[in-house]
Amino acid sequence: MGGVILVLSGPSGCGKSSLINEVLQKNDDIYFSISTTTREIRDGEKEGVDYYYISKEQFQKEIEEGLFLEWAEVHGNFYGTSVKPIENALKNGKLVIFDIDVQGHEIVKKRYSCILTSLFITTPNKDILKQRLIKRETDSTSAIDKRIENAKIEMQRIEEYDYLLVNDDFKVTLDNFEAVVKVARLKQDLSEVKEFRRHW
C-alpha cells in the first residue's frame, strides 16, 4: 500500500512540535513535511530542520510556478508546503505528517482526502495558551495577543477535523497522539483497496 497523510493543526504554543518530535524519534518511516516561510529565523532554529527560510519575493515566484501544495499568509508572513518531497514520500509508503493551519488543512483535504487523517490539538483554554506563549519567550506582547486572536478563529473550525486532543497532560496527550498515528497508517486509498480485492 502507498503512503498516507496526517494533518496536525492547532494554535501556536499548544505543543504540536513537541509531540511530533517525540514520534519522529521513535519511527523511521515517517516524513515530516518541513514548511517554507518568509519569517525571520529564531534563535535555536535551523535551516532545513525547522523551516526553509526564503524572501517574500522568492516565495511569491514559487507560488506563480505552482510549486506549493498549500500556502497561507499568517501574522504578516507566508508559509507553504513544497509538492515534490510530499509526492516522493507517499510513493515510498511513508506516513507524511503536516503541521499546518486550518487554511492549509482545507487545501490538503481537497487533494488527498482519500488518504488523509486530521487532528486538531489545543490547550484546555485560551488563558493557558497565553501562559505557554509568554513562557516560551519568543514573541512580543503584541505578537502573543495576535496569536491568541488567531487561535480563537481557528477554534471555530475544529469540527472539520477527525480528532481533537486537549494538551493538558503531555504524557497522556502523547499516548493519544501515538494512537492517532497508528490509526492514520490504516487509511487506504480506494484504488489500492480495489486492487487488493482484484488480486485476492
Give the pLDDT confidence of 144-163 residue by residue, as tens digits: 999 999 999 999 999 999 99
Cβ-Cβ contacts under 8 Å for 92 (sequence gap 6 or more): 3
Class of domain 4-199: alpha beta
The SS3 of residue 44 is coil
- Residues ≥6 apart with Cβ < 8 Å to 2: 90, 91, 93, 115, 189, 192
Is residue 123 over pLDDT 90?
yes
Q: What is the pLDDT of residue 193?
A: 85
Q: What is the pLDDT of residues 170-181, one digit of tens each?
A: 999 999 999 999
Per domain, the residue ranges of the chain are: 4-199
The residues near 129 (Cβ < 8 Å, ≥ 6 apart) are 11, 13, 14, 122, 123, 148, 151
Q: How far apart are the first and last CA of the chain?
A: 14
Q: What pLDDT does 118 receive?
A: 97
pLDDT at 174: 97
Strand 77-82 versus strand 116-122 pairing type: unpaired
Of 143 and 162, the structure prediction assigns the larger pLDDT to 162
The pLDDT tens digits for 57-72 are 999 999 999 999 888 8
